Structure 1
Amino acid sequence: MDRRLTPATDRVALGSLRGTLDRPTYVPGQPARLAVPLADLLNGPRGRRDRQVNFGADLTVIERRGDMAFVQAALDGYCGWLPVAALSFDLAAVTHRVTAPATHVYPAADMKRPEIMSLSIGARLSVTGLAEGFATLATGGFVPAQHVGDGPAADPAAVAESLIGTPYLWGGNSRAGIDCSGLVQAALNACDIACPGDSDLQRKAFPEVQTLRRGDLLFWPGHVAMALSDDLMIHATAWTMSVTREPIADAVARIDAAGDGPFLGIRRPIGVT
């Protein structure tokens, strides 16, 4: 079983795995939500980052060890450890999401007040009202109304382009830092297209196609990009340490010359038209 997607530690497993995975303890899991702007999903209680989750992410708590919790993200099934202090168990209905690359939360409906936190694209919000150009959050604070929406975006490639210049960060999932698969996931999720968290999982999730069109995914070992046209792509890359556009032919040649190939083909996310 894939560790990244298996809701079990060495001693506790989600009850749905009873009879499939042998563990001393099985639990139903406790619903929770991320209450901080961003948190790393770690591969151990004090481990390294595998991925990240954004504000408002729905999570299932499977085990607690001291001040750390092992959770599974509802968005893509990804599992990992994060601080218990980052969680909320007050699950107000989610009504909106952040649609801008990034935004601020203010203590009042006043952009001149010092911000209390920053949020990234895809953050999930419980909005109780819209007035005076701000969305009021059930969790406290006010977000500029221009930066939130209650429906999906239409074009994943346009969403990806809005993140041009974002610094590259291994395992990153936010405007503060993002990697290749994080960029693809953010772009597709903004359009309500389900997408796994890592590039190998993304390649397995979508059907292969032979002709290229906008929104298709291009794969190499350990890397993924999104087509903007039949000759241009966008990706988060350690080559520039940023999200950048690049001619597809140039990328294929450059990656092959670096010994990081071969090109593995094109996949089309379900829902991209």
Structure 2
Amino acid sequence: MDRRLTPATDRVAHESLRGILDRPQFTEGSPVRLSAPLADLMTAPDGRRDRQVNFGADLTMIDSRDGWAFVQAALDGYCGWLPEAALSHHLPAVTHHVTAPATHVYRTPDFKRSEAFGLSIGARLSVTAIEGKFAELATGGFVPIQHIGDQMADDPIVVAETLLGTPYLWGGNSRAGIDCSGLAQAALTACGIRCPGDSDLQREAFPQVADIQRGDLLFWPGHVALAASADLMIHATAWKMAVIWESIPDAIARIDSAGDGPYLGAHRPG
């Protein structure tokens, strides 16, 4: 079974795995929500980062030990460990999400006062009231209304373009740092298209197509880009350590010459 998508530790597994895995304990898990601005999903307590989850992410807590929680993300089924202190059992209805590349949560509805913390695109919010140009959150604080929305975007490429220049970060899922599959997931999720967290899973999730159209995902071993047209793509790449535009023919040639190919084709999200 794929470790990344299997809600089980060495001692506890989700009830759905009863009869499939041998564990001392099974559980339905506890619904929780990320209350920290951003958290790494790790392979083990204080281990290596696999992916990240953003503020407001709904999670199921399967296991906990020594201040760490093992969770599964509702967004894409990804599993991992994160600090238990980053979780909340307070689950107000989610009404909005962050549509800007990044924003701030202020302690008061005044942009001249100090901010409490920052949020990234895709963060999920529970808005209780609008005060001037700020939305008040059930979790506390105020967010500029210009940076949030309650509708899905129409074009993943327009979303991805807002993240141009974002520094490359392996396993990253935010404006502070993002990798190739994180960029693809952020762009598609903003448009209401469910998308796995890693490039190999993304390639399996969507059908391959012969031609390249805007919005297609282009794949190489361990890498994914979003096609803006038949000749131009946007991607988060360690080559430039940033989100960039690149010619598709140039990228195919460059990646092949570096020994990181071959180009594996285009897949079309539904």
What band does the TM-score fall into relative to the shorter chain?
A: over 0.9
Tell me what 2:159 maps to. 159
Deviations 1:70-127 (Å, cap 9, x if unpaired)?
A: 0000000000000000000000000000000000000011000100000000000000
How far residue 28 of structure 1 moved from its aligned partner, in angstroms, is: 1.1
Aligned residues: 270
Measured in 2, the distance between the counterparts of 1:155 and 1:98 equals 16
Task: After TM superposition, list the pairs within 5 Å mapping 1:190-209 onto structure 2.
Answer: 190-209=190-209
Tell me what 1:136 maps to. 136
How far residue 22 of structure 1 moved from its aligned partner, in angstroms, is: 1.1
Structure 1 runs not aligned, ≥5 long: none
Measured in 2, the distance between the counterparts of 1:187 and 1:201 equals 16
How far residue 139 of structure 1 moved from its aligned partner, in angstroms, is: 0.3
Measured in 2, the distance between the counterparts of 1:144 and 1:243 equals 25
Measured in 1, the distance between the counterparts of 2:210 and 2:157 equals 19
Measured in 2, the distance between the counterparts of 1:146 and 1:221 equals 38
Q: Please tell me the residue identity of whatever aligns with 2:240.
A: T
Measured in 2, the distance between the counterparts of 1:125 and 1:49 equals 25
What's the Cα RMSD here?
A: 0.5
Q: Please tell me the residue identity of whatever aligns with 1:143.
A: V
Measured in 1, the distance between the counterparts of 2:267 and 2:3 equals 24
Deviations 1:36-77 (Å, cap 9, x if unpaired)?
A: 100000000121000000000000000001100000000000
Tell me what 1:87 maps to. 87
Tell me what 1:32 maps to. 32
Measured in 2, the distance between the counterparts of 1:200 and 1:190 equals 20
Measured in 1, the distance between the counterparts of 2:74 and 2:166 equals 25
Measured in 2, the distance between the counterparts of 1:165 and 1:137 equals 29
Measured in 2, the distance between the counterparts of 1:22 and 1:209 equals 40
Q: Please tell me the residue identity of whatever aligns with 1:181.
A: S
Tell me what 1:51 maps to. 51
Measured in 2, the distance between the counterparts of 1:48 and 1:152 equals 32
Tell me what 2:17 maps to. 17
Task: After TM superposition, list the pairs within 5 Å mapping 1:159-238 onto structure 2.
Answer: 159-238=159-238
Report whether the alignment pairs 1:65 with 2:58. no
Deviations 1:124-177 (Å, cap 9, x if unpaired)?
A: 000001220011100000000000000100000100000000000000000000
Structure 2 runs not aligned, ≥5 long: none
Q: Please tell me the residue identity of whatever aligns with 2:159.
A: V
Percent of pairs with identical residues: 73
Task: After TM superposition, list the pairs within 5 Å mapping 1:105-144 onto structure 2.
Answer: 105-144=105-144
Measured in 2, the distance between the counterparts of 1:157 and 1:23 equals 44
TM-score normalised over the length of structure 1: 0.98
Secondary structure in 1 aligned to 2:181? helix
Tell me what 1:8 maps to. 8
Q: Please tell me the residue identity of whatever aligns with 1:234.
A: I
How far residue 243 of structure 1 moved from its aligned partner, in angstroms, is: 0.2
Q: Please tell me the residue identity of whatever aligns with 2:216.
A: D
How far residue 20 of structure 1 moved from its aligned partner, in angstroms, is: 1.3
| Superposed structure 1 runs of 4+ greater than 2 Å apart | none
